[in-house]
Structure 1
Amino acid sequence: MSLYERLYDESEKAKVRFVGFVSEQGRYDFGIVYTHMFFGKPLVVCMQTGRSSLLSLEDAENLEYLQKVFNLRSMEEAEEISIFFKNNLPTITIDAETEH
């Protein structure tokens, strides 16, 4: 008898973008993984802390959520990150297999 029930086991070629930037509040380094999984939400990884989240444009507008998930020091920092994500997250699913 299996100790677990497999929910999914998928492989795909994913597009990954690494972005580093500096603002008035600090330095940020993110990896953004575009995938067909998770209803088209990209996986965003903070390269400094290892914290990650699936983020949609709607999620990027929620400053409290951004502050909590990325362990940001202030709401001003969350606002800067929100602006970055709103300008850099896709509005539609990116076709990770055809874009290089």
Structure 2
Amino acid sequence: MNLFDKLYDDQENVKVRFVGFTTENVRYDFGIVYTNLFFGKPLVICMQTGRSTLLDPKDIEDLDYLRRIFRIDTLEEAADLADFFKTSLPHIPFETQYE
């Protein structure tokens, strides 16, 4: 009996970047997985909390989203993080992966 329908099962060689940095008040440690899946959005993993998300330029502008997903205390810290992501993540135009 088939209990599930497979949606996808892809393999690819990806670029992974590990970066740690500090601002005036906070230390950050991230793993960033650059993939062709998920509309080209990189997978960003906080190495301290284990929380992860797919981020695109529109997501980076949403400081409340960054605060919530990475458990950041203040808007200032979220703005610092957004500045980092703006210079570190690729700006890939949206392309649907489903047809």
Q: Specify every segment of 5 or more residues in structure 2 that has no aligned partner in the other structure, as ranges.
A: 94-99
Q: Specify the code of the residue in structure 2 equivalent to 1:31.
A: G
Return the offset for 1:35.
0.2
- Give aligned-pair identity as a percent: 58
Task: Please list every run of at least 4 consecutive aligned residues from structure 1 whose deviation after the TM superposition is greater than 2 angstroms.
Answer: none
Return the offset for 1:25.
2.5
Return the offset for 1:92.
2.6
Return the offset for 1:91.
1.1
Measured in 2, the distance between the counterparts of 1:60 and 1:9 equals 28
Query: So what's the TM-score if we normalise by structure 1?
Result: 0.89
Measured in 2, the distance between the counterparts of 1:48 and 1:66 equals 15
Q: Specify the code of the residue in structure 2 equivalent to 1:4.
A: F
- 1:55-70 paired onto structure 2 within 5 Å: 55-70=55-70
Measured in 2, the distance between the counterparts of 1:54 and 1:11 equals 18
- 1:13-92 paired onto structure 2 within 5 Å: 13-92=13-92
Q: Specify every segment of 5 or more residues in structure 1 that has no aligned partner in the other structure, as ranges.
A: 94-100
Q: Is the 8 A contact 1:25 1:76 kept in 2?
A: no
For 1:9-51, what per-residue CA distance to the aligned partner results, in whole angstroms no more than 9, with x for missing partners? 0000010001100101300000000001000000000000000
Query: So what's the TM-score if we normalise by structure 2?
Result: 0.90
Measured in 2, the distance between the counterparts of 1:28 and 1:90 equals 19
Return the offset for 1:58.
1.2
Return the offset for 1:4.
0.9
SS at match of 2:2: coil
